Amino acid sequence: MNRILTWHRQEAVGNETRIGPTYYIDADYEPVAVRIYAETAGNRDVKIDIFDDGISIFANSSSRTYTSLTEYSLGTPVTSAVLGAGENGEPDAEDFSGEPIEGGSWVHCNLVDAGGGKNITVQFELHQVSEDDERED
């Protein structure tokens, strides 16, 4: 069985804005997809993060700043999904950490940076892990 969680924010003021409801997860699920849509595209990247009991579902990533062709430094690790600047939709905005979403947990979404976008909708698709699936492992 699949489940889709949806969050929406018409306009965001500032960064790190918690949007929409917090969902109670009633069974074990695997993350399938995250989709981000902005009716008005941002002039910068729109960044969101989804948390499962306060821990991001996304893998850590770092930006690289090159000081020469072969030397670079890594920025602070961040977790987020991105809708690129000037884009209205991103149907595959995921780089999951690989952890399942366990039954009994609470899931919420933060709009890390609206990037100037408006009417932003985030969908998080989950696939329920059945007991038969767990026995196959």
What span, in angstroms and rounded, lies between the C-alpha atoms of 3 and 32?
Answer: 10
What pLDDT is recorded for position 30? Answer: 96
Q: pLDDT above 70 covers what percent of the chain?
A: 79
**Which domains does the chain show, CATH number per domain?**
2-136 (2.60.120)
Q: What is the pLDDT of residue 97?
A: 87
pLDDT reading at 134 higher than 80: no
pLDDT 10s digits, 14-62: 677 889 999 999 999 999 999 999 999 999 999 999 999 999 999 876 5
Q: Please, is 54 exposed, middle or buried when counting C-beta atoms within 10 Å of its C-beta (0-12, 13-18, 19+)?
A: exposed
